[in-house]
Amino acid sequence: MRLPDYMPRSENFQAAATLSEADLESAHRAASRNTDPAGADLPVSLLNLLFRLAPTLVSLLDMGARDHGLGFARGRVLWALRESGPVLMRALSEALGVSPRTVTGLVDALEGDGWVKRSPHPADRRATIISLTPAAETTLDRLDETYHGLAHDLLGDVPEQDLRRSRAVIRQLEDRLEAAVAARLASDQQART
């Protein structure tokens, strides 16, 4: 199962989660500067811009979900289910990159609020299939409509060639992120020993 392009990849979050508090604070300080001096190191400048955008983008994702009583984690479960359709709990856990225990807790809460339902697997009585309820489908349709509207408000007048190049660069960053963070952490670890 593949998460929609606009949902963060879990391995990137897992790599970022291993950063120390000092690393995160340093990145936050650098990103929060409102300056981008001419002649600055271009890769550093671009990363600063991305760090400045990231909290706002995450807040936008979370804001729509909060309006419906959902948080970021619960919203990720719903979007993953929307993408996959009914799925085994184990597959949902793997797709989200979180432990089965965590997914069980999220599904319990979502089921209690009427967002998902559990059904027995037709061939394996030990397995449970998780699916969205009609109320969840309707809500996700509304959130998706809002998301698409925002995308067009922000980027609708940017030339298509620029959008395509931007998308290619962002995908390249996404593909490199985990390896770059892991290499930096390994280097830092080695330097400390």
Ramachandran area for residue 130 (φ above 0: left; ψ -120 to 50: alpha; else beta): beta
Reported as a pLDDT band with limits 50, 70 and 90, residue 34 is low
Does any domain span residue 121? Answer: yes
In-domain check, residue 193: no
Please give the residue range of the domain that contains residue 84: 69-133
Per the domain annotation, does 92 fall within a domain?
A: yes
Residue 37 in any domain: the answer is: no
> 18 pLDDT exceeds 50?
no
CATH of the domain at 103: 1.10.10.10
3-state secondary structure string across the chain? CCCCCCCCCHHHHHHHHCCCHHHHHHHHHHHHCCCCCCCCCHHHHHHHHHHHHHHHHHHHHHHHHHCCCCCHHHHHHHHHHHHHCCEEHHHHHHHHCCCHHHHHHHHHHHHHCCCEEEEECCCCCCCEEEEECHHHHHHHHHHHHHHHHHHHHHHCCCCHHHHHHHHHHHHHHHHHHHHHHHHHHHHHHHHHC
Within-domain flag for 127: yes
In a 13 Å sphere around the CA of 47, the CA atoms on its Cβ side amount to 14
Q: Kindly report the backbone phi and psi dihedral angles of residue 120, in degrees, each rounded to the nearest multiple of 5, phi listed first.
A: -70, 145
- pLDDT tens, residue by residue, 79-117: 999 999 999 999 999 999 999 999 999 999 999 999 999
pTM: 0.65
Assess if residue 120 is contained within a domain: yes
Domain count, the chain: 1
Q: Is residue 14 part of a domain?
A: no
Amino acid at 51: F
User: Is 174 part of a structural domain of the chain?
Assistant: no
What is the mean predicted confidence (pLDDT) over 14-20? 45
> Edge-to-edge strand order for the sheet containing 87-88?
87-88, 128-132, 116-120
* Cα radius of gyration (the chain): 19
- The pLDDT of residue 75 is 86
> What percentage of the chain exceeds 90 in pLDDT?
40
